[in-house]
């Protein structure tokens, strides 16, 4: 059974989400601020976090940063429509996905299921050529699930790994944002703009100058490619 941590300072929201998740046989832990969330995360074996942005004591983006320092578990941000910049910031600091309040319970469950599926399948990704792909100074190693940049191991999340794997496995091929989303998220492109945020994070990890990338290039009006 998967353990899901629901973090929101509005008790009505956490209680409602708990009902939805328990009906799908998920085990639920609830927290009402970022500090309480971190305490639970340290004590329990959490598989996914639903994280509100605006909370007392410690906000959701700060809590996300602290969780991401220790774990690659999926983090889905819960954001109000007026919090677009906070939502983007949350993705930049390590969240995997977001859902806007008020949300449809079926969409919430679909996002939880898809993020857990990607996370649990992370260890089963198979790479060709002796379990590694190397282009220039960039290497993905399947045995260690590591990203190496000029021989140095760089931290990478499961989503970043999958995006980079898709592009490196098909060098010089241009993928649209929608195609990247559908191939990696394994669902219709509900939030394709999240791809742009993840691409930006990958560039910061692999490029000497992310503003003038050598490897991960944009093809204006079409999408992205990994330059061989």
CATH number at residue 48: 3.40.50.2300
Q: How far is 95 from 72, CA to CA, in rounded Å?
A: 10
Q: What pLDDT sits at residue 32?
A: 96
222 and 191 in a common domain:
yes
Residue 191 has a pLDDT of 75
Which residues form the domain of 173?
A: 125-226
Residues 168 and 77 in one domain: no
Report the pLDDT value the prediction gives residue 86, as an integer from 0 to 100.
Answer: 67
pLDDT at res. 91: 78
Q: In this structure, are 116 and 142 located in the same domain?
A: no
83 and 31 within one domain:
yes
| Assessment of whether the complete model's pTM goes beyond 0.95 | no
R_g (Cα) of the chain, nearest Å: 18
Residues 96 and 156 in one domain: no
Number of domains in the chain: 2
What pLDDT is recorded for position 123?
47
CATH assignment at residue 192: 1.10.10.10
Same domain assignment for residues 118 and 139? no
CA distance 27 to 3: 5
Give percent helix, percent strand, percent coil of the chain, each to the nearest 5: 45, 20, 35
17 and 117 in a single domain? The answer is yes
Say yes or no: 8 and 115 in one domain.
yes
Domain co-membership, 64 together with 169: no
Calpha distance 76→46 (Å, rounded) = 13
Residues 116 and 55 in one domain: yes
Decide which of 63, 92, 122 is a domain's last residue.
Answer: 122
Question: Do both 129 and 116 map to the same domain?
Answer: no
* One-character DSSP codes across 174-209: -B-HHHHHHHHHSS--S-THHHHHHHHHHHHHH-SS
pLDDT average per 10 residues of sequence, the chain (228 residues): 94 94 95 95 94 90 89 88 67 84 89 83 49 87 79 85 91 93 83 85 91 91 91
Q: How far is CA 131 from the centre of its chain?
A: 23
pLDDT value, residue 28: 96
Contact 147, 164 (CB under 8 A): yes
pLDDT of residue 82: 60
């Amino acid at each position: 059974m998967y353990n899901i941590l629901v973090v929101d300072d509005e008790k009505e929201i956490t209680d409602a989400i708990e009902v939805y998740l328990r009906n799908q046989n998920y085990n639920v832990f609830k927290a009402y601020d970022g500090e309480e969330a971190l305490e639970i995360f340290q004590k329990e074996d959490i598989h996914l976090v639903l994280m509100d942005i605006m909370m007392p004591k410690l906000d959701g983006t700060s809590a996300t940063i602290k969780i991401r320092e220790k774990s690659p578990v999926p983090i889905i941000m819960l954001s109000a429509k007026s919090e677009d910049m906070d939502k983007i910031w949350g993705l930049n600091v390590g969240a995997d996905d977001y859902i806007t309040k008020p949300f449809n319970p079926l969409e919430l469950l679909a996002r939880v299921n898809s993020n857990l599926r990607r996370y649990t399948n992370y260890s089963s990704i198979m790479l060709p050529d002796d379990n590694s792909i190397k282009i220039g100074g960039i290497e993905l190693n399947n045995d260690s699930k590591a990203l190496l940049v000029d021989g140095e191991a760089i931290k990478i999340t499961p989503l970043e790994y999958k995006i980079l794997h898709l592009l490196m496995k098909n060098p010089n091929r241009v993928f649209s944002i929608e195609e990247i989303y559908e191939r990696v998220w394994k669902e219709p492109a509900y939030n394709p703009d999240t791809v742009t945020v993840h691409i930006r994070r990958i560039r910061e990890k692999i490029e000497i100058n992310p503003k003038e990338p050598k490897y991960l290039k944009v093809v204006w009006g079409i999408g992205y490619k990994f330059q061989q």
